[in-house]
Amino acid sequence: MSLHDDVRGRIRDVPDFPKAGIVYKDITPVLQCPKMVARITDWLAKMSPANVDVIVGIESRGFLFAAALCEKLDASFVPARKAGKLPWETIATSYALEYGEATLEMHRDAIQPGDRVLIVDDLLATGGTANAARTLACELGGEVVGALFLVELAFLHGRDALAVPVHSLVTY
C-alpha cells in the first residue's frame, strides 16, 4: 500500500470539533505508528526544496514533523507559536482561522536575513496559520521557499494564500 493510502487510512474524522460544523482530521492514529512517521519524514525530505536553512514548525503538530525533518535537511528548527507561549522577544501577526481568530509569534532572532525557510505543519486548511508563519519569516528577512503539509483540505483553497510551492501528502 502507498504511503498516501496508509496515512489516509489512519486519519480519523472527528465531527463537531473544535466546534459544531467542523470535521477535525485527527492524525493521532498516524503518530502511533513509528514506521509510518519515519516514512512521512522521508517523504517530507524528498519534497523539500534544496538548501533549506530553517524549518518553521507551526504549533503544535507541525513541531513533530518539522523537528524530525531538521536532522535530514541539516536545518535549524524555529517554532511558530500561539501568542504568549515563547519566552524571548517576539514578533507577532494576527490572522483568521476557519473557526475564529488567532495570533502567531516567532522569536525576533529566529531567522536571519537571507535564510531559506521551509514551513511545515500537519494540516493546511484556509492557509491563515501558514500564511502568518510566512509573514513572520519574511518580516525577519527570510526567503520562504516552500511549505509542506501532511493533510490539505483543498476545498478551502489554503495554498492560494501562500504564494510559495506547496506539497501535501493527503488531500481532501
**What are the catalytic residues?**
61, 98
| C-alpha separations of 26 from 123, 131, 150 in Å | 10, 22, 11
Biggest alpha carbon–alpha carbon distance for the chain: 46
What's the rounded Cα separation, in Å, for the pair 119 and 136? 11
- Please, what sign has the CA dihedral across residues 163, 95, 64, 77? positive
Residues 6+ apart with CB under 8 A from 100: none
- Please, what sign has the CA dihedral across residues 39, 37, 167, 92? negative
Contact assessment for residue 48 and residue 58, using Cβ atoms and an 8 Å cutoff: no
